[in-house]
Amino acid sequence: MKRWLALVLMAGSALTAAPIEAADPPTTSQELHEVLTIAPNINHGGRVFAACVACHGRDGNGQAQGDVPIIAQQHAFVIAKQLVDYRHAERWDLQMEAVASTHRLGPARDIADVAAYVAALPRAGDAGLGEGRNVAVGARVYARDCAGCHGADGEGNGVLRVPRLAGQHYRYLLRQLHDTVEERRPNMPPPHPQLFANLGVEEFTGIADYLARLHPARRVLPAQ
Ligand code: HEC
Ligand code: HEC
């Protein structure tokens, strides 16, 4: 073999064999994957949750005027994924990006533990509601476009990893819908942007108000 060719080949194999720097931070999917492999410690999760109480409340019910969402009883996977997404700037919010940073929240174990703790918190407070005018419109659109994934009662699905929406604060929900349309919520997957693009103000306020009034296993509208 010509000497220069042997050198090129050696250089190539040295490159492919180069170890990944130990200090490389994990990617979003690597970190979420790591969180999912951890058997959560709920007691430790309760201690981590101390860092959340100032905004989400001791009961995890957020703020009824809708700046801060209810997180109690959200599916653990959904909570963990949102924390990882904020940490990697794949969901945008200045406060939550700071909270979820490794300086504040710590490693994957803290995410797994706090997610399990929050998912097990009972629902204590009431959701903030809208004006009630478009609830019937919202119920129709929800049943047509959303219930197939988010569940007939907005209960979501922990196994299929779909968030619970029932009983969430009206203003928070409305903001998420607008943020998606205006491309401020990059982690909202298809088909959301496409579904929302066809909706008007009545449908938006209606869906958010309908969901805020829903309690899983309790229907707000009489069966028709
Ligand atoms: C400084 C106030 C503040 C603190 C502290 C805080 N949060 Fe939040 N949290 C918010 C706000 C505001 C939002 C809504 C952000 C948005 O619109 O994306 C939010 C959103 C979330 C969401 C997304 C909910 C959803 O339905 O998608 C989760 C999960 C969450 N927080 C968990 C936590 C956890 C766990 C902690 C503690 C480790 C925590 N937060 C601490 C203010 C806070
Ligand atoms: C194909 C299944 C599917 C359909 C249909 C669907 N969603 Fe979703 N939705 C999801 C999944 C999965 C997520 C979680 C995205 C993530 O990983 O952050 C989500 C997230 C959301 C969130 C964010 C929840 C939060 O706490 O911030 C809202 C709000 C939402 N969907 C509303 C709707 C509405 C309203 C409709 C109908 C117009 C709808 N979705 C239709 C699967 C679906």
pLDDT tens digits, 41-99: 999 999 999 999 999 999 999 999 999 999 999 999 999 999 999 999 999 999 999 99
b/e string for 104-131 if b means 16 or more Cβ within 10 A?
Answer: ebeebbbbbbbbbbbbebebebebbbbe
- Please report the pLDDT score of residue 14 as a whole number: 47
Pocket test for ligand 1, best of 48, 49, 71 (most atoms within 8 A of CB): 71
70 alpha carbon, closest ligand: 1
- Please report the pLDDT score of residue 24 as a whole number: 84
Ligand 2 atom nearest to 161, measured from its CA: 12
Find out whether 120 and 42 touch, Cβ atoms under 8 Å: yes
- Read off the tokens for 208: 């958010």
CA distance to 72, 146, 200, 218, per residue, from 54 (Å): 15, 32, 35, 30
Ligand 2 atom nearest to 141, measured from its CA: 38
The Å distance, Cα 30 to ligand 2 centre, comes to: 23
What is the rounded average pLDDT of the residues 142-158?
Answer: 96
Residue 188 has pLDDT above 50, yes or no: yes
Residue 185 has pLDDT above 70, yes or no: yes
Pocket test for ligand 1, best of 42, 52, 53, 103 (most atoms within 8 A of CB): 52
Higher-pLDDT residue of 11 and 51 is: 51
Q: What distance in Å separates the CA atoms of residue 197 and residue 121, rounded to the nearest whole number?
A: 35
Find out whether 82 and 162 touch, Cβ atoms under 8 Å: no
Which bin fits 190, alpha (ψ -120 to 50), beta or left (φ > 0)? Answer: beta
Find all residues with CB under 8 Å of 26, minimum gap 6, and list them. 34, 108
The Å distance, Cα 78 to ligand 2 centre, comes to: 11
Confidence band of 20 (pLDDT split at 50, 70, 90):
low
Ligand 1: residues with CB < 6 A are 48, 51-52, 54-56, 67-69, 71, 74, 79, 82-83, 91, 93, 95-96, 99, 105, 114, 118
Residue 1 has pLDDT above 90, yes or no: no
